[in-house]
């Protein structure tokens, strides 16, 4: 990528680096403390031999160059420069909308955090700016920062979220971390810091911090459940397709009714698992308290519809020559159809569970952290 000067090329099978005035090996085990901090394991006039991106030898130049593999390796002469491990920056907010340098100057001058906040600074000000910024603008700013990291020798950095303080913005930051990781050579290690501070909308209200933390945990667990369910459903569809496509071979290997027994047991286990997963989703996702017995009625109904759709799509895939007709596009169409059907069934099941619980089951009560919405009708003047 333009602007990045290291870690971008593919190394040859063997590479010999020579001409280094010093090599900082940092040899030793465990973290350095006290006097050991000054022992950097320096080798003067050293050389390094690398094979397949791994350091296989380092030491005085004459000894490394005498190795048989060094004689056939590509040579990189660094002209008296210093070789050292890349820096690891262990605390960054890589994705941010504006610099806080002015706040640091105020802090150095003796201003307290409360004084800085009263002047319009602080974490909440950064949160406000990030929420208003587009993903494109945030990514552009982060890439510029990554170029500076690379130019100053950083090869790995830990990047925190924490400037979003709502589920949407926090996930946006973490998503940008992934995009940035694939867009440039530096290693980015993401840390979720959604509970950085209490956001403004939860301050000044009874139990605000507790409600915010509960909401955050609930939403992220729900998001993880959705991702896990989607993965499991795709795997189950693929397995069902494979079993259906190999049914004739299974009949030969297991004559009689054995293959049907295996198929029935497989479908029963899958039905129980899917019912449980739908039940967990209907129980955890809503900002409401609903009894398990009401949840499971909706979950079983949803699982029945889901299994019917899975069987139909799997049967079609196993008995059609869709790949020969449409090629790769045919597979994409089937996947999109499956995702659409699963989403429709999921939302239908959620609505069915709600209606069943309200009319035939127990009451549905809001959770403590639920967001209350007030509906108010407003008359609009004619022609207004």
What domains does the chain contain, in order, with CATH numbers? Answer: 14-85 (2.30.40.10), 89-197 (no CATH), 208-366 (no CATH)
Question: Could you tell me what percent of the chain has a pLDDT over 70?
Answer: 78
- pLDDT tens-digit series, residues 191-200: 999 888 888 8
- pLDDT tens-digit series, residues 82-116: 999 899 999 999 999 988 888 888 888 888 877 88
Pair 69, 49: CB distance under 8 Å:
yes
Task: Name the nearest CA neighbour of 172 among 139, 219, 125, 208.
Answer: 139
**Average pLDDT of the segment spanning 309-324:** 70
pLDDT given at position 6? 45
> 238 pLDDT exceeds 70?
no
Identity of the highest mean pLDDT range in 27-31, 69-73, 220-224: 69-73
pLDDT given at position 246? 62
Using the 8-state DSSP alphabet, how is residue 363 labeled?
Answer: -
Please report, to the nearest 10 degrees, the dihedral formed by the alpha carbons of residues 25, 31, 36, 38 taken in order.
Answer: 50
How far apart CA 235 and CA 242 sit, in angstroms, is 11
105 Cβ contact partners less than 8 Å away, ≥ 6 residues apart: none
Q: Which residue has the tokens 């925190």?
A: 160
What phi, psi does 223 have (nearest 5°)?
A: -60, -40
How far apart CA 171 and CA 61 sit, in angstroms, is 49
Beta-ladder partners of 154: 87
At 2, the pLDDT band (50, 70, 90 cuts) reads very low
Exposure pattern of 79-114 as b/e (b: 16+ CB <10 Å)?
Answer: eeeebeebeebeebbbbbbeebeebeebeeeebeee
Q: Which residue has the tokens 């890439």?
A: 143
pLDDT given at position 210? 85
Mean pLDDT of the chain: 82
């Amino acid at each position: 990528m333009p602007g990045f000067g290291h870690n971008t090329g593919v190394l040859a099978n063997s590479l010999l680096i020579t001409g280094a005035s010093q090599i900082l090996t940092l040899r030793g085990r465990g973290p350095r403390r006290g006097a050991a901090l000054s022992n950097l394991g320096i080798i003067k006039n050293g050389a390094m031999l690398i094979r397949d991106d791994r350091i296989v030898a380092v030491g005085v130049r004459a000894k490394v160059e005498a190795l048989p593999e060094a004689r056939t390796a590509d040579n990189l002469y660094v002209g008296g420069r210093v070789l050292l491990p890349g820096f690891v920056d262990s605390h960054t907010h890589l994705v941010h909308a504006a610099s806080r340098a002015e706040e640091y100057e105020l802090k150095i001058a003796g201003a307290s955090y409360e004084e800085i906040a009263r002047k319009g600074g602080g974490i909440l000000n950064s949160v406000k700016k990030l929420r208003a910024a587009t993903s494109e603008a945030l990514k552009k700013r982060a890439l510029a920062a990554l170029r500076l990291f690379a130019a100053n020798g950083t090869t790995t950095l830990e990047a925190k979220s924490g400037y979003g303080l709502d589920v949407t913005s926090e996930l946006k930051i973490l998503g940008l971390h992934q995009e940035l990781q694939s867009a440039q050579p530096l290693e980015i290690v993401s840390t979720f810091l959604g509970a950085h501070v209490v956001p403004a909308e939860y301050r000044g209200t009874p139990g605000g911090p507790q409600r915010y933390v509960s909401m955050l945990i609930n939403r992220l667990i729900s998001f993880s459940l959705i991702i896990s369910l989607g993965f499991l459903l795709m795997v189950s569809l693929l397995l069902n397709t494979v079993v259906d496509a190999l049914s004739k071979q299974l009949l030969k290997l297991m004559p009689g009714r054995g293959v049907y027994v295996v198929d029935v047991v497989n479908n029963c286990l899958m039905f129980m698992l899917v019912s449980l997963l739908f039940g967990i989703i209907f129980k955890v996702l809503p900002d409401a308290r609903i009894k398990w017995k009401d949840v499971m009625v909706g979950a079983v109904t949803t699982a029945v519809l889901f299994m019917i759709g899975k069987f139909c799509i799997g049967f079609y895939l196993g008995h059609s020559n869709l790949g020969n007709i449409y090629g790769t596009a045919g597979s994409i169409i089937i996947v999109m159809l499956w995702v659409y059907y699963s989403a429709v069934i999921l939302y239908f099941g959620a609505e069915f569970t709600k209606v069943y619980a309200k009319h035939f089951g127990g009451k549905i009560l809001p959770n403590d952290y639920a967001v209350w919405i007030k509906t108010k009708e407003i008359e609009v003047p004619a022609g207004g």
